[in-house]
Amino acid sequence: MGSGKVSLRDVARHAGVSPSTVSNVLNGRVGRMRDETSERVRQAVRELGYAPNQLARQLRTGQVRTIGLLVPSVANPFWGFVALRVEQAASERNYQVLLCNAERDPAREARFAETLLDSGVRGLIFGSSPLSFDHLTTFAGRGLQVVAFDRSLAGAGSVVVGSVEIDNVLAARLATSHLTGLGHTRIGFLSGPIRTVSRRERLAGYRQALEAAGIGFDPGLVWEGASVTAFGDAEGAELGRAGAHHLLSRPDRPTALFTINDMYAIGAYAGARDLGLRVPDDLSVLGFDDLPVLAEVAAPPLTTVRQPLPEMMRVATDQLIGRLEGERSGEPEHVTAAAELVVRQSTAPPGGR
Amino acid sequence: MGSGKVSLRDVARHAGVSPSTVSNVLNGRVGRMRDETSERVRQAVRELGYAPNQLARQLRTGQVRTIGLLVPSVANPFWGFVALRVEQAASERNYQVLLCNAERDPAREARFAETLLDSGVRGLIFGSSPLSFDHLTTFAGRGLQVVAFDRSLAGAGSVVVGSVEIDNVLAARLATSHLTGLGHTRIGFLSGPIRTVSRRERLAGYRQALEAAGIGFDPGLVWEGASVTAFGDAEGAELGRAGAHHLLSRPDRPTALFTINDMYAIGAYAGARDLGLRVPDDLSVLGFDDLPVLAEVAAPPLTTVRQPLPEMMRVATDQLIGRLEGERSGEPEHVTAAAELVVRQSTAPPGGR
DNA sequence: CGTCTTGACTAAATCGTTAGACTCCGAACG
DNA sequence: CGTTCGGAGTCTAACGATTTAGTCAAGACG
């Protein structure tokens, strides 16, 4: 049994051939030798239990079968799902996934990009697109390819080679229209700091839907989160709760809240409860993401916008790996997936019906 | 600005010294040269924007600042959390995390171990301990160190260098006693296939608590999941639902269910609802994990056993990295964290209170 | 009969770092 | 004045694969 480390040289010796030949066999270049020889090599490989040292191979070829996945937060289960899905898709193409959590900090994002490049990784999936990719342009020059989970605008072209997204504007319009359709006219928009493309777009969609319904846009009904310092684990549900407190304490209290994601929605539930309001009787809440299981089992089950996550992650991963393998090239590809409004029981007409 | 790839040789040339000297400076071996020289080297590094090629360094030293994390399932959000927490802890020690999802398949587990070793990774955190580590003993010989999330028994000594767990027996006893204390005598145990240590222990604890309460253990009240083939995404909530159907259709229907994790508990909610039973009036449900947010916001909020996940993951990561860095050695270390019963509203006395 | 091919491999140079063995030089010592 | 010693670096093999440019023998061709 191979105990220590068996190298290609050992195999060569064992098979009575040169290292080059072994390498050739292993890489399928068998046309240039007798069948008998390649069989003998294969035999030796088996007998010694040889497995090539990827580090050495990668150093030589510059090819690394690993991609990075950058997520923006450890607090939202959504990203855990994303991670698992990406690993699933990558593993089918025999790639590995390095998990990076940048906490939405551009400096950390850059640091991760750096580390990835240094370890030979040349592909990165960006969980949530920051408003600008400027801090990453240098890395593009060094060979880093980025696929974004949301489409980005500014300066993205130089870094981003592909993206998968839902139409966030449309989705938010859909969601908001659902609320106006129920008769709501004072609809709050509950979000953390708007520092990603998707958030900005959702706000735009919200606004469009309001205007389409002949309701004026009231900046006072938009809550953009606490101070930036209070970030980190406080995010998500806690922020949602705080925001709900704020918006629901206004004199002309909104009768519905559209939240930037399901965690905020859950937080809004808590916030409403704190103020003695009941969902959906006194307050409708509409989320975003359709967090698996959570949205369904929340009390009440959450009306929300679903992103087809597994599919989107597969597309993103395939785009990226396709680039790395040279199957794809040229202009960035942008894929738009269909979002869907899932109506459950957290929304109802205003006024307790 | 360094555009292409700057190598240590380039730096050496630029600073007018030999590559060895640059290497020495970079690795803090500055005792053997004049301050002026090392300063000149540092200067050159800065000017060229040099960053060492980790692949080359790793090949040479055999040291890789990456650990693997093996999770057993993509379906349970729990593992997404675990992944994020491990990455957080690892990143503080400047390590990277490779995500591996083995779907509880020993063959895949072995394949991942193989891949990790081939890429120079020598440390692995095992999300959930299989009943046996036999399929991994060969890898231990090849230098793989494993830290288990649960303590394992059979043959673990040769592979596992540390573990973090809660006392699953105790925790399950605690949980079950809570139910017997409420007056339940027919308590179902709802689990998938019992192929991990933790599951086996929870079953043992359940049994002990029953006996302590003078209630006989009835194997008929234990549901061990559907056929093994029906694995995959069907896991979790769906299995919980199926199991609930099964157990609740018995003539002497249980008045309480202790589920192996929160996903099963949520599934059991659905199963009970299907049969027209209300939680907790007609059926008490007790979960395990205290899935962040989910357990809290479920309807009704779930009584469950909490594992202090962030802390446990930090300990596991530190144990592993400690080994890799040679700070720790010798006998495996087993750390036991305190689990805690979190009583919410899914449990009540039997008979509609 | 000498040169060209072709088939079947092999030699050796990388890839970018590291580390133990050396070198070189001026100062100190006997 | 010859030798030893320590400081300040440098040389040179690796690490384990890949890959380009050969080598060598045997048969083909003119």
Residue by residue, DSSP assigns A130-193 as BSB-GGGHHHHHTT-EEEESS---BTGGGTEEEEEEE-HHHHHHHHHHHHHHTT---EEEE-S-
A124 in reach of chain B (CB within 8 A): no
Q: Which residues, in sequence order, are bridge partners of residue A306?
A: A289, A340
In this prediction the pTM is 0.87
A103 in reach of chain B (CB within 8 A): no
Nucleotides of D under 7 A from a protein CB: 7-12, 14-21
A231 vs A322 pLDDT, higher one? A322
Compute the distance between CA of residue A282 and CA of residue A285 in angstroms, rounded to an integer.
10
Report residue B83 as tokens.
């992944």
Residue-wise pLDDT tens digits, A4-63: 689 999 999 999 999 999 999 999 998 889 999 999 999 999 999 999 999 999 999 999
Task: State the count of interchain CB pairs (< 8 A) between A and B.
Answer: 150
Nearest-Cα residue of chain A relative to residue B269: A297
Nucleotides of C under 7 A from a protein CB: 7-12, 14-20
Burial of A329 (0-12, 13-18, 19+ CB in 10 A): exposed
Chain B: give the shortest CA distance to residue A278, in Å. 14
Compute the distance between CA of residue B99 and CA of residue A343 in angstroms, rounded to an integer.
34
Going by C-alpha positions, the residue among A100, A129, A102 that lies closest to residue A316 is A129
Of chain A, the percentage scoring pLDDT greater than 90 comes to 68
> Which protein residues have a C-beta closer than 7 A to any atom of strand D?
A 5, 7-9, 19-20, 23-24, 26-27, 52-53, 56-57, 59-61; B 17-21, 24, 32-34, 36-37, 56, 59-60
Contact flag A118-B54 (C-beta cutoff 8 Å):
yes
A201 in reach of chain B (CB within 8 A): no
pLDDT at residue A338, rounded to an integer: 95
Amino acid found at A271 = G
SS3 of chain B: helix, strand, coil, percent, to 5: 45, 15, 35
Q: Tell me which of A45-49, A202-206, A240-244, B254-258 is least confident.
A: A240-244
The contacts of residue B261 (CB under 8 Å, 6+ apart) are: B76, B78, B236, B287, B288, B289
A31 in reach of chain B (CB within 8 A): no
Radius of gyration (Cα) for chain B, nearest Å? 26
A79 in reach of chain B (CB within 8 A): yes
Asked if A178 contacts A286 with a C-beta cutoff of 8 angstroms, the reply is yes
- Those of residues 297-326 in A touching chain B at CB distance below 8 A are 297-301
**Which nucleotide is at minimal CA–C1' distance from A20?**
C10
Burial of A186 (0-12, 13-18, 19+ CB in 10 A): middle
pLDDT at residue A230, rounded to an integer: 44
Chain A: give the shortest CA distance to residue B118, in Å. 5
Q: At residue A194, does pLDDT exceed 90?
A: no
Measured CA angle at B344 (ends B342, B346), to 5 deg? 120
Mutating which of A63, A71, A99 best tests the B interface, going by the most B Cβ atoms within 10 A? A99
Contacts of B142 in chain A (CB under 8 A): 3, 5
**Which nucleotide is at minimal CA–C1' distance from B15?**
D9
Nearest-Cα residue of chain A relative to residue B140: A3
Q: How far is CA B242 from the centre of its chain?
A: 25
Nearest-Cα residue of chain B relative to residue A58: B55
- Those of residues 228-247 in A touching chain B at CB distance below 8 A are 236-237
pLDDT at residue A227, rounded to an integer: 53
Q: Which residue is nearest to nucleotide D11 (CA to C1')?
A: B20
Measured between CB atoms, which of B56, B88, B98 is closest to A97? B98
The contacts of residue A350 (CB under 8 Å, 6+ apart) are: A182, A183, A184, A185, A255, A256, A284
Instruction: State mean pLDDT over A280-299.
Output: 90
DSSP letter assigned to residue B107: H
Contact flag B3-A141 (C-beta cutoff 8 Å):
yes
pLDDT at residue B90, rounded to an integer: 95
Q: Which residue is nearest to nucleotide C8 (CA to C1')?
A: A33
Q: Which residue is nearest to nucleotide D6 (CA to C1')?
A: B32
Contacts of B1 in chain A (CB under 8 A): 138
Asked if A144 contacts A116 with a C-beta cutoff of 8 angstroms, the reply is yes
Compute the distance between CA of residue B131 and CA of residue B137 in angstroms, rounded to an integer.
14
**Ranges of chain B with pLDDT below 70:** 1-4, 152-157, 226-235, 352-353
Report residue B203 as tokens.
């079953």
> Which protein residues have a C-beta closer than 7 A to any atom of strand C?
A 16-21, 24, 32-34, 36-37, 56, 59-60; B 5, 7-9, 19-20, 23-24, 26-27, 50-53, 56-57, 59-61
- Those of residues 259-298 in A touching chain B at CB distance below 8 A are 263, 266, 269-270, 292-294, 297-298
A138 in reach of chain B (CB within 8 A): yes
Mean pLDDT, chain B, as a whole number? Answer: 90
Contact flag B118-A54 (C-beta cutoff 8 Å):
yes
pLDDT at residue A292, rounded to an integer: 80
pLDDT at residue B352, rounded to an integer: 62
Compute the distance between CA of residue B113 and CA of residue B96 in angstroms, rounded to an integer.
16
A74 vs A17 pLDDT, higher one? A17
Chain A: give the shortest CA distance to residue B113, in Å. 12
pLDDT at residue A226, rounded to an integer: 64
Measured between CB atoms, which of A101, A138, A263 is closest to B87? A101
Compute the distance between CA of residue A126 and CA of residue A86 in angstroms, rounded to an integer.
11
CB hemisphere CA count around A123 (13 angstroms)? 26
Measured CA angle at A216 (ends A214, A221), to 5 deg? 135
A18 in reach of chain B (CB within 8 A): no
pLDDT at residue A233, rounded to an integer: 45
Asked if B72 contacts B79 with a C-beta cutoff of 8 angstroms, the reply is yes
Mutating which of A60, A67, A96 best tests the B interface, going by the most B Cβ atoms within 10 A? A96
Chain A: give the shortest CA distance to residue B68, in Å. 9
pLDDT at residue A153, rounded to an integer: 60
Residue-wise pLDDT tens digits, A304-316: 999 999 999 999 9
